[in-house]
Amino acid sequence: MVDMSTDSGTASSPAPKHVPVMLQRCVDALAPAISAPGAVVVDATLGLGGHSEALLTQFPEVRLVAVDRDPAALKLSAERLAPFGDRATLVHAVYDEIPEVLADLGIPKVQGILFDLGVSSMQLDEAERGFAYAQDAPLDMRMDQTRGLSAAEVLNTYSHGDLARILKVYGEERFAGKIASVIVRERAKEPFSNSARLVELVRNAIPAATRRTGGNPAKRTFQALRIEVNGELEVLDRAIPGALDSLAVGGRIVVMSYQSLEDRLVKQYFAAGATNTAPPGLPVIPEEHQPWLKLLTRGAELATEGEIEENRRAAPVRLRVAERIRDRSTRG
């Protein structure tokens, strides 16, 4: 974990402005928890810094701690958030490291946490990162390009069984076995390096009738590879409990998920915290069995037409909000 202050190491060109997904709804959801002086809010997925900038602007006394695993995103956001001085602390870390980041900063609890999961706008828009199947580019897909296996290395080294597993589980791909077979066959002729070849192979592996609906047939394969390369679900499985433990009583957490696997995990953790765990039939519920989370959204909320018009990437978003209503120190 490396702390990147907002007044050093800035980018050579201005950070591009973009409309963050469901911006005002996220700000409004956090507002009751972070309006008081001394409040700390964590942006767990800094990206280009749009949500962070809005939080710092609309709440002049809030302190921001923002993390991102992508050094390029941190560099751009450092310039964008530089006007806020020491109110903003940017840290190179993955969001499952939030408890350690806060401990290093001497912050015991925070009042707000925001997760905007998935790939950032910058990562999608920069072809050389290899996230977008619509452009031919090197098959990288690492959110932090300084570590880990690239998507090309996964394609070229994983067994047929492992490839089929990640395509089925992470991509929810019906034809996972068939696509894995094609990948193994074709990599023996020439290792994979660029996205266009993979897109074409996936398209040809899927029956024509299936290709007519559901958008680009490579979408699910690219999602699966990205999740595998970045360990996204494993990280999220650690990150949500860690974030919830970092919330002060009265603090709020907002999570935006872009696919069902992420949303299912978030839903499970939120539901567990909002559930009475006492044996049935007790006349009085002991405190340690009472819910410690309150769900502030009924199920997962979707973007409005207006929010999708502002940013088309809001279309698949599922948003959940919860509030911590008591301490868990007495739970059995």
> Exposed/middle/buried for 141, CB within 10 Å: 0-12, 13-18, 19+?
buried
Helix segments in the chain, DSSP class H = 23-34, 50-58, 71-81, 98-104, 121-125, 151-157, 160-171, 176-189, 195-205, 208-211, 219-230, 232-246, 260-273, 305-310
The reply, when asked if residue 158 is annotated as ligand binding, is no
Q: Which of 229, 45, 47 is CA-nearest to residue 139?
A: 229
The reply, when asked if residue 116 is annotated as ligand binding, is yes
Tokens describing residue 298 = 């009924």
The reply, when asked if residue 95 is annotated as ligand binding, is yes
In sequence order, the β-bridge partners of residue 60 are none
The reply, when asked if residue 43 is annotated as ligand binding, is no
Burial 40-70 (b: 16+ CB within 10 A, else e): bbbbbbbbbbbbbbebbeebeebbbbbbbbb
The reply, when asked if residue 68 is annotated as ligand binding, is yes
Residue carrying the six token digits 């903003």: 88
Which three-class secondary structure state does DSSP give residue 87? helix
The reply, when asked if residue 85 is annotated as ligand binding, is no
The 3-state DSSP composition of the chain as helix, strand, coil percent (nearest 5) reads 45, 15, 40
Pairing of strands 40-43, 63-68: parallel
Given phi > 0 = left and psi -120 to 50 = alpha, else beta, which region is 232?
Answer: alpha
In sequence order, the β-bridge partners of residue 320 are 255
| Alpha carbons 281 and 286: distance in angstroms, whole number | 12
Q: Which of 59, 54, 60 is CA-nearest to residue 20?
A: 54
Q: Which of 191, 187, 215 is CA-nearest to residue 203?
A: 215
Name the binding residues for S-adenosyl-L-methionine.
Answer: 49-51, 68, 95, 116, 123
Annotated binding site: 49-51, 68, 95, 116, 123
